[in-house]
């Protein structure tokens, strides 16, 4: 019985690590699309094409993201904003966004 529990825990950890790896691939694809957007102006189209492709759908699924059209639109919006993923995920950017939203609510 203990072997089964250890095996299940190990497999669960393996799955989490694999999901994180695929999530990193999605973040890299977003960064590449943002770079394309700055260089060529076609970033949202590139990420949409990738997310709708067979490989893109598989990577999104393995990352734990349902590859539906709503997700594709969200990825396109994210790329359109032009904020790199490392900046968007940082604490400083989060605090700046929250402060800007609070200021906008206070002004309204």
pLDDT computed for residue 9 by the predictor: 67
| Interhelix angle 69-81/43-52, nearest 10 degrees | 150
User: CB-based contacts of 57: which residues, under 8 Å, 6+ apart?
Assistant: 51, 67
DSSP code of residue 89: T
DSSP code of residue 53: S
27/81 Cα distance (integer angstroms): 15
Overall number of domains in the chain: 1
Q: Are 75 and 47 in contact (CB under 8 A)?
A: yes
Helix (H) or strand (E) holding 81: helix 69-81
Domain region containing 63: 2-107
What's the half-sphere exposure (Cβ side, CA atoms, 13 Å) at 74? 9
pLDDT tens sequence for the chain (108 residues): 456 667 776 788 898 999 999 999 999 999 999 999 999 999 999 999 999 999 999 999 999 999 999 999 999 999 999 989 988 888 887 788 888 888 888 887
């Amino acid at each position: 019985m203990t072997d089964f529990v250890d095996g299940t825990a190990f497999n669960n950890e393996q799955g989490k690590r694999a999901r994180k790896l695929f999530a990193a691939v999605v973040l890299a694809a977003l960064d590449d699309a943002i770079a394309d957007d700055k260089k060529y102006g076609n970033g949202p189209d590139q990420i949409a094409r990738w997310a709708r492709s067979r490989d893109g759908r598989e990577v999104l699924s393995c990352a734990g993201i349902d590859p539906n059209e709503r997700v594709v639109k969200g990825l396109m919006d994210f790329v359109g904003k032009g904020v790199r993923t490392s900046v968007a995920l940082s604490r400083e950017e989060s605090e700046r966004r929250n402060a800007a939203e609070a200021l906008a609510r206070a002004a309204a």
